Structure 1
Amino acid sequence: MTTSSPALARVLDGLVDMHVHSGPSPFPRRFDHVEAAEDGARINMRAMVAKSHHHNTQMDVLAMKGRLAHVKAQVFGGIALNSTVGGLNVHAVRMCLRMGGKVVWFPTISSGRHIECHPEDGAFPTTTVPLTLERIDVLDESGNLKQAAHDILDEVKEQGAVVNGGHMYPEYIRALFQAAKDKGMTRMVISHPDFVIGAEPEMCREFTALGAFVEHEVGMYDPEGTQKWDPAHLMKWIETIGPEHTVLASDFGQAVNPKPVDAWLRVAAALLDLGLPERDLQRVVRDNPAYLLNLDD
């Protein structure tokens, strides 16, 4: 299927991208949040979430409000709980969400699992300014979820936002999601389980049983991106976990990678060619993320 196919345009119409690495950022970025949203018009993108590993992006979104006024797609921010925002900092979370942020990512580049995999940030670009990084853990010495994590979950629940497991160890994510479920939360996401995190499908079934969605990044499967994974692998994940528990996002915006829209077009076409039903593709790119972001409430 070509990327100009009417069927492809129909399936991607109203897409919601929950993982866009637009700028500003200490990492080199291809464009800013407004430019990313403007480019989304090529596929009639409904909404996107701007993600930074380093700061609260909701403040960026608010600062760009004037430029975003003419953009059809809604743009939301969020906060990743790394050392540059104070780690498990409920005060930073509270400000982000009460200013309109939609997603809280638990530690990504500050997680023990990420540091273990990339002790020198080998899989990431060099920052444009020198920064410090400390490890942030959500479990205490007894293996229990820290009170700060509980406080953050309570704030996420109160604001109807999304809790994302970040780049943590699978066991840490399970503890976080179990606590979230116990609090009555239903908007939970684990990103790229087979990249950095190392969560096998069987463990991901445990996550979905707790109410979580499994997010895969189309940027990893784009033949013009830096990773170039086989789309057949992504297709197997969708079939194994089920489209009802799956979300696709781009994870693009890096200066060295193509634009997210181009990755969406190429990877979506590949999935349709592999036999993914159009309705299932719509569900994972449009319906499930729209539910997570409360777009229809």
Structure 2
Amino acid sequence: MSRRPAIATVLDGLVDMHVHSGPSPFPRRFDHVEAAEDGARIGMRAMVAKSHHHNTQMDVLAMKGRFAGVAAQAYGGIALNSTVGGLNVHAVRMCLRMGGKVVWFPTISSGRHIDCHPEDGAFPTTTVPLTLERIDIVDGTGALKPEAGEILDEIKAQEAVVNGGHMYPEYIRTLFEAAKERGITRMVVSHPDFVIGAEPELCRELIGLGAFVEHEVGMYDPEGTQKWDPKQLLTWIEALGPEHIVLASDFGQKANPKPVDAWLRVAEALLDLGLPEKDLRRMVRDNPTYLLNLDA
């Protein structure tokens, strides 16, 4: 008989930095409060609500009354796509000074994302017609645009997280080099093997700049839309080291299961493949706790 603790016990204290709860113009399974409430099943400590279209910190503040009695803390952030004005330091400043924790540089407005999904942001199809404009962080010479640097200065001042979004790997490197020059220590590159196309060697370069590499358990859930093999995730963990990795769900879409269910299934799969419990806890609890500065 296995002497392993229940999976929920192993995940206790989990911090999910990538939850696609609503509202959103993309179809969502539940709102931010309902996502945080469901996290009680695995003792979730905190979550970050992500939207490709708007500042989610204002959602979180608007739902404050409904969060009363919910154990998990919810935070918001802002993705620098065309619907917020792209590289808009004013929008970033408001989000972070109102309590937001993460700034995602262009996701669906990035050139790399548009290359992969040229259907004008239909990722999936939006519930209302929207327009999308490409946003680049570098100028024609490859230098970081001044407005991107100003945003990094605000991120530094507020001790927030800078996320490379869905940009080309070389743009993420340029951004993180500038972040390191400013003394920023909380950097994340999301799903390097989805859309972005960052190979392990480049990820090691980003780690050398101080970044964490975020992998999404939702992509490895057998009941989700991606259904990737968990062995692929374990290979990444072994290649980069759990001390440099953050696991997040990237779930909340209407077509996918709830994040907690993905966490339970994929965590069990990783443990069955031989991942030590301490390494799993580090990636789901300790590393994101540091990134969000929760113990400050």
TM-score class normalised by the smaller sequence: over 0.9
The two structures have a TM-score, normalised by structure 2, of 0.98
Structure 1: distance between partners of 2:166 and 2:83: 16
Which residues in structure 2 correspond to 1:184-203 (within 5 Å)?
A: 184-203=183-202
Residues 195-232 of structure 1: per-residue CA shift (max 9 Å, x gap): 00000000000000000000000000000000000000
Structure 2: distance between partners of 1:22 and 1:149: 27
Structure 2: distance between partners of 1:20 and 1:196: 18
| Residue in structure 2 matched with residue 210 of structure 1 by the alignment | 209
CA contact (8 A) 2:120 2:131 kept: no
Which residues in structure 2 correspond to 1:233-252 (within 5 Å)?
A: 233-252=232-251
Structure 1: distance between partners of 2:246 and 2:120: 26
Which residues in structure 2 correspond to 1:1-297 (within 5 Å)?
A: 6-120=5-119, 124-297=123-296
Structure 2: distance between partners of 1:113 and 1:125: 17
Structure 1 residues 121 and 8 mapped into 2: Cα distance closer, same or farther (>3 Å)?
A: farther
CA-based RMSD of the aligned residues comes to 1.3
Structure 2: distance between partners of 1:233 and 1:124: 24
How many residues align? The count is: 295
Structure 1: distance between partners of 2:97 and 2:202: 33
Q: CA deviation at 1:287?
A: 0.2
User: Which letter maps to 1:267?
Assistant: V
Unaligned runs of 5+ residues in structure 2 are none
Q: CA deviation at 1:38?
A: 0.2
The two structures have a TM-score, normalised by structure 1, of 0.98
User: Which letter maps to 2:62?
Assistant: A
Runs of 4 or more off by more than 3 Å in structure 1?
none
- Give percent identity, aligned residues only: 84
Structure 2: distance between partners of 1:129 and 1:227: 25
Residues 255-288 of structure 1: per-residue CA shift (max 9 Å, x gap): 0000000000000000000111000000000000
Q: CA deviation at 1:123?
A: 7.2
Say which SS state the counterpart of residue 254 (structure 2) adopts: coil
Q: CA deviation at 1:122?
A: 8.0
